[in-house]
Structure 1
Amino acid sequence: MASTTTIKLAPELKARVIELAGRTGRSTHGFIIEAVERLTAHEEKMRDFVEEALAADADIERTGEVYRADDVHAWLDQLAAGEHAKPPRAWRK
């Protein structure tokens, strides 16, 4: 069940939202809901990305293993072309 949340918008922003919602055939309410959903999904993805990057950095510090960018790019190009490719070999920092 949905609950009600009240937000205060600056008059200029409110006018922009109303105008754009109308021009795109959406209600102001629907426009705001979609904006909140999109930003929430974006922030969740960014949080996950940063967590993965920090974990990868910690793994590099722990193992000392890294990959040459050229090797990784060549491997990905082969995969994208539908070719069977062996993953690049790690080397130590």
Structure 2
Amino acid sequence: MEETSKQVRKLSHLARLSLTPEEEGELAGRLEQMVGYLQALSQVEEGAEPDTPCAVPFRPDGVAPSLDRDKLLAQAPLTRDGYVVTPRSVGEGGEA
């Protein structure tokens, strides 16, 4: 754990973060947990089959017809220059 704490201190210094000792301890614990997961993954044999089948089968990719642009724009409440106008979602409020 001490080695991981040293690594967290070094990384926080490089990232110019000031961490409290509690935050350092929490991050060190998380880092050790992640390393444990990676070590467990490295033990999996390449090409190993999963224990359970995939619940949702994959569908094949393919080209399919999309919506007609003019019909779509005709259904929109507000359009401008061939685009659907929506309210702002970031920044100041106000009109679209």
Larger radius of gyration: 2
TM-score bucket (shorter structure) = 0.3 to 0.5
Greater relative CO, 1 or 2 (CA 8 Å, sep 6+): 1
More helix by share: 1
When the two structures are superposed, what TM-score results if normalisation uses the length of structure 1? 0.35
